[in-house]
Chains A and B, each alone.
Chain A
Amino acid sequence: MGPGERKLLQERMAELADGNRNAFDDVYALVWPLVRGFVGRHLRPAEAEDAAQEALIRVFARASAFDSSRDALPWILGIAAWQIRTARQRERRRREDAISETELARPDEDPRPDEIAETRETDRFVDAALDLLRPEDAATLRAYMNDERPAVAPATFRKRVQRAVERARSAWRMGHGSQR
C-alpha cells in the first residue's frame, strides 16, 4: 500500500467511524485486498479465504470504534493478525480431534478376554495330550507347533509328526473317551 492509499485509508476510516456511509465503498475497496493478501501470506489457501472474510467483517464491525488519531493500517492488520491466530488455533484443534478419533477407531492390538480364555483352554488341551505321549513324540509335536525343524530330513520329520499325531489321538481316546 502506497503513501497516497494509506492516507486515503486513514481519512476514509475516520469518516466511517464518524458514521459517514459514503466512505464505506472506498474503505472496502482499500481494506479487502489488503486483508486478503495479509491473511493469504500466513495461512494455507483453503483456510485463508474464510479467515480473510472473517477479518474483513470484524474490521467493519469495529469501524465505529476506530480512533481516528491512531494509524488505520496497523489497526486493520492487528485485527487480521488476530483472525490468523484464531484460524490457526481452530486448525490445530481440528487436527487434534482428528487424531483422537483415529486412535479411538483403531482396533485394539491386545487380545480380548474371551480370546485369552480360549487360547488358555487350547493350551491346556495340548499340554494334556502331550503328557500322554512318549517324550520323543511330544518333542516332535512341540517342534512342529513352534515351527522348529530338527536336523533330520523333511520327509522324516513329516513322518514323525504324522505318527505322533496318531499316537496322541489314540492316547486321548483311551484317556478321555472322546474324538476330540
Chain B
Amino acid sequence: MTKFKIYLSVILLPVMLSILSACSEPPAKNTRGVYMLMDTSGTYTKELIQAQKVINFILSNLNPGDTFAVARVDTGSFSEKDIIAKVTFEDRPSMANQQKRAFRDKIDSFVKSVKPSRYTDITGGILQGIEYLNEAEVGHNLILIFSDLKEDLGKDYIRDIPLQLNNVSVVALNVTKLRSDNVDPREYLDRMAEWESKVHSGGGTWRVVNDMERLENILTF
C-alpha cells in the first residue's frame, strides 16, 4: 500500500506540475513596450527638458517585465546607435527600481551632452522602433514621438516606405508650432494629417498630446 502511494505520488506530481505550467500564461501578454523618439534637431533640443520629464513619468509608471527604450532622432535614425538607453525591467520590483534609477542617470547625462543634429529622420526612427518592439515581444506596443514632426531628410535618404504598425499605438508629444506654422497654420494641420494617415495606413493608432501637464493618458494602449 505504501509503495502504491509512493508510485502514485511520483506519477501525480509531474502531472500536476505540467497542469500548473500549462495554466500559467506567458508574461509577454501583460507586458508593455515603449519606444520613445527624441527629436534632437535644430532648436528642438531646447525642449529636451520636457522630454526628460516625460521619460521620468514613463519610468515611474512602468512595471517589472515592461520594456522601455529612448532613441534620438537625427540625420539617419534607422540605426541601433541612436538608441540612447534601453531596458527590460527585471521580475523583481527592487531590481526594477534600480534599473529605473540607472536609466534616468543615463538620460540625464545624454541631455547634458546632446548636440543638435542637422537633419530630422522621424520615419527612420519609427522603423527602428518597430523593429525594436517586435524583437521585445511584449503585449502592448507604444511609440512616442517627441518632436515637432517636421521631417527633414538628408540627401539620398529614402523614407517613403509604408510603416508596419499593426498593434502599435503612436503618440506624438509636444508638437510645437514652427514659425512658418504661425504664418500659415495649414502647414501645421497638413503635417499632422499626413502623419495621422501614415500611421493609420500602417495599421496603428494615432494620438497627439501637447499638454505636458496631462501625461496620465499617454500610457493607455
Partners in one complex: no
Chain B residues close to A by CB (< 8 Å) = none
